[in-house]
Amino acid sequence: MRSIRARRSAIITAVAGTVFIAAGAFWLSFTSLADLAARSGIGAGQAWAWPLIVDGVIVVSTVAVVALAGSRTAWYPWALLAGAAAVSVTANSIHAVVAADADVPSVLAAAVAAVPPVVLLAITHLTVLLMRTPEAAEEHTDDALLSPQSQATALREEGWSNKRIARELEVHPSTVGRWFASVPTEHERARSAPDESEDKR
């Protein structure tokens, strides 16, 4: 129990740190992109929306990538994430070259400006993973308290096939079949219930 609490405290601290770093990276990228938008002819009243669109897509796509991991549709948030990250890094670098002092090398200015969007991308992904970890750990702990046969029974009640259950529990399908040979499902118990009541009569 102590290890679980210590792990949870460490995760909370890490999440707080990553959120703080992400906020700083977002702010640096936001100011650069807003200024670039203003320099490009977008009105001062609308320039702030451009960085929100670009970096906002990075944040939303990162959450979607983690949420849809393993799904066939995961390619779409990945594509959005890659595109938004490329636009953000490029735009920040261009702004640095345009706005940098004459005595600052363009390569150095572009490299420094590229750091915030890259950090925003990495730290957002890390934050989402950290926030998912406690839930995954609790689910794993609950599963560990159940015997393999109990887990198999619960999965069968959800409509899983024997082969799928065997793959999930890493046992042979025949083993799953033997478990169910001695344990009736809820459907089987429901069918046998009227027969038992008639026998009592």
**For 72-90, how does the pLDDT look when each residue is reduced to its tens digit (9 = 90+)?**
888 998 899 899 989 999 9
**For 135-155, how does the pLDDT look when each residue is reduced to its tens digit (9 = 90+)?**
554 555 444 456 787 888 888
> What is d(CA 177, CA 165) in angstroms, rounded to the nearest whole number?
10
196 burial type by CB count under 10 A (0-12 exposed, 13-18 middle, 19+ buried): exposed
Structure confidence at residue 201 (pLDDT): 53
Residue spans of the domains in the chain: they are 2-145, 148-200
Structure confidence at residue 152 (pLDDT): 83
Quick check: 34 pLDDT over 90? Answer: yes
* Full 3-state SS string of 95-145: HHHHHCCCCCCHHHHHHHHHHHHHHHHHHHHHHHHHHHHHHHHHHHHHHHH
Task: Answer positive or negative: Cα dihedral of 69, 70, 73, 79.
Answer: positive
- Backbone dihedral angles phi then psi of residue 3, each to the nearest 5 degrees: -65, -35
193 burial type by CB count under 10 A (0-12 exposed, 13-18 middle, 19+ buried): exposed
Q: Report the share of the chain in percent with pLDDT over 90.
A: 21
133 burial type by CB count under 10 A (0-12 exposed, 13-18 middle, 19+ buried): middle
Structure confidence at residue 46 (pLDDT): 92
> What is d(CA 47, CA 166) in angstroms, rounded to the nearest whole number?
56
**For 1-13, how does the pLDDT look when each residue is reduced to its tens digit (9 = 90+)?**
456 677 777 778 8
